[in-house]
Amino acid sequence: MSSALTARGSTARWRRIRDWILERDGHTCHAIVDGHVCGARATTVGHIIRREHGGGDGSDNLRAECTGCNCGESRAPARLSVTRLTDTQAGIVRLLDTAGVPVSAGRRRAAAAVPRRVAAADLDAACRWRRARGPLTRI
């Protein structure tokens, strides 16, 4: 059977499949980024094994993905914007993780969770590192 997704765009069949997969996965991105589930809001559906490599449109080969994970189809591991954290930045990351602050939270929300005043550069670096690392949840 031919693919429901064609070179010219999606078909009515693909849109039905996409809606079903998004509903099945709870509109949550299930792409694996640096060993963790992305967890962002999913609006697209991606193939686990790409069609060019023999993957089909079966439900076992499809998963909900956010636009960033689906459009970055290279599947290369994301590079951390900060390669090595200082001790202060690592402490901030630990604090934010244990406080349950979402990875997608902005600087204000992250600063509210830190009990003491920290340098803005350290807080920004810790937040960037957490966003690149992704949530600490797994499927």
- pLDDT means over runs of 10, the chain (139 residues): 65 90 93 79 88 83 89 51 74 88 84 87 86 67
CB 89 within 8 A of CB 82: yes
Torsion of Cα atoms, 115 then 121 then 127 then 131, to 10°: -170
Give the pTM: 0.49
Per-residue pLDDT at 76:
45
Per-residue pLDDT at 24:
94
Per-residue pLDDT at 65:
92
- 9 burial via Cβ count (<10 Å: 0-12, 13-18, 19+): exposed
Per-residue pLDDT at 35:
67
Per-residue pLDDT at 6:
67
Element of type H or E holding 30: none
Domain boundaries, the chain: 5-71, 87-133
Torsion of Cα atoms, 67 then 70 then 75 then 81, to 10°: 0
Per-residue pLDDT at 79:
46
Tokens of 44: 């697209």
